[in-house]
Amino acid sequence: MAGKKNDLGGLQLKRHRESTDEQSAPSVVSAVRAGGDPRVRRLPLDSVADNPENPEARAGDVTELAASMRQVGQLQPGLVVTARAFLEAHPEHTDTIGDRAWVLLAGHRRKAAAREAGLEVLEVLERDGERMDEAVLHENMHRLALSPIEEAESFQRVMQRNNLSQRQMAEHAGISQSYLAKRLHLLKLPETLRRAVDSGVVAPSVGVAIVRENDAEVLAALEAVLTKTEPDLTQSWALTSAVREASATVRQRQALLAAQEKAHAEGVTVVEDPDATFGPWKLGDHRLGDEAQIEQARAAGDLAYVPQINGTGEPVPVRLSVPSETTPVANTYEQQRKEADKERKASNEARRAFLIDLVKKMPGAKERTAITTLATLRGAHLGSQVTSAARRIAQAAGVGPDADTDWDWRMALLDQPSGVREHLAWIVALVALEDELRWANVSTWSTAALELVTYMTERGYTLTEHEERMVAKSTHTKEQDA
């Protein structure tokens, strides 16, 4: 492995932390005019191509800069590399560069302003072609701020061209490795979401969380969902819903593949849509409960497999024929489903009862912030279901307005004194997080849900058997995905 580098070919990428007063210092060109520095070239504008690799090549409004250049000329040189050197590194841009002899690495606004000002030449310094990407990154980090995606792309280019590790890149750029890793995570987002982060519609932290919590297959499915539904990404719940839909799509796809592989290996058929084949809610009547029943159906040519409900787990063995009234397994699955629903509802009631006692006293600011932050980053929102539950819990605890309807209660929240509002915000965040634990159609809980369960148990809540199983299963799944 190469030894530690202290710079990139003499180019330090540390961010400026000093005052910007240095920007008003005499420029290189000013010194050149005073003393005649031969390093500065005067190139015809038409001989210099913009850099296709530079996100900051968007010149924007240069009216004021052009007016200044008409009066005093160009005060600071641009940075160029020969077209030959540039195309050796980026041959894909041959058509874009054309027959121009130079490529501009830094100074695109100066070039645009020079053209608008009617100048025919651009004053530049020539750069070694081996360090082009670092030069662009250096220029942009010290001038106009890049968007999160542009910054990530710039970091990635420099790392790839110079074979740098994240640690080395972070040192050169004067940033933490954690910051760099989070920026690079954004490049794994689907294109639609990358544009949303780039334009500021979605916060970078939300994009990073989505990448960390979902694999590449889910992220690819998310692009399809966003393209199809075109949700309003300014609403956090819309993005959360899209991620859930993408996750469900992948789970169903994986479950179908597992069923197809198992059926192919055993020489039996697959029932992709049990509702269409057997009728709505009839799967339980066809489900086989033990090995003896599976082998009996196999011998009769009556065996098939169905993708696991909720898109997870082993394929479900079923019989294709309509079971008789005396078939002992006919109602086994339905009975199991009813028992599971009963356990889940009992757990829901126990949690809500605990929350009523918990929220009677408002905790400290640090604890409130932790819960509201968790709910916000999870994408929780004050929908009708959460509003209704939060109103009942808050009123049972004697906190906040005593309104008769959910709508009136919600409208009265902002009329409360600041301390009461903070108390209510914490209650709403708790209820929004707890709402996920009530869903019947999930096989595992999210990281946020697990953190809420931990929060509650640390404050005296005792998990039900159903909750213990869900925690164990969810924790095991996340450890496998890590």
Percent of all residues in the chain with a pLDDT value above 90, rounded to a whole number = 32
pLDDT at 312 over 90: no
pLDDT of residue 333: 59
pLDDT of residue 1: 40
pLDDT of residue 304: 93
Pick the CATH number of 28-144 from 3.90.320.10, 2.30.30.90, 3.90.1530.10, 3.40.50.720: 3.90.1530.10
The more confident residue out of 426 and 54 is 426
All residues at 6 or more sequence positions from 395 whose CB lies less than 8 Å from its CB, including other chains: 402, 409
Residue 104 contacts residue 51 (beta carbons within 8 Å): yes
pLDDT of residue 57: 47
pLDDT of residue 5: 36
**Nearest partner of 140 among 58, 85, 198, 48, judged by Cα:** 58
pLDDT at 318 over 70: yes
pLDDT digits (tens, 9 = 90+) for 68-110: 778 767 767 788 888 888 888 788 888 888 888 888 887 888 8
Query: How many C-beta neighbours within 10 Å does residue 290 have?
Result: 12
Residue 373 contacts residue 448 (beta carbons within 8 Å): no
Per-domain residue ranges of the chain: 28-144, 189-249, 268-330, 335-481
Q: Phi and psi dihedrals of 125, rounded to 5?
A: -115, 140
Distance CA 431, CA 380 (A): 9
Distance CA 264, CA 198 (A): 46
E strands within 45-163?
48-50, 78-82, 102-106, 121-126
pLDDT at 330 over 50: no
Q: Phi and psi dihedrals of 37, rounded to 5?
A: -90, 120
pLDDT of residue 25: 30
Instruction: Render 106-130 in DSSP notation, one character per residue.
Output: E-HHHHHHHHHTT--EEEEEE--GG
Residue 449 contacts residue 474 (beta carbons within 8 Å): yes
Q: Which region among 69-78, 125-134, 441-450 has the lowest average model confidence (pLDDT)?
A: 125-134
The alpha carbon of residue 348 and the mean position of all alpha carbons in its chain are separated, in whole angstroms, by 30
**Nearest partner of 427 among 390, 375, 476, judged by Cα:** 390
pLDDT of residue 197: 92
The more confident residue out of 439 and 103 is 103
The C-alpha angle with vertex 187 and arms to 186 and 190, in degrees rounded to 5, equals 90
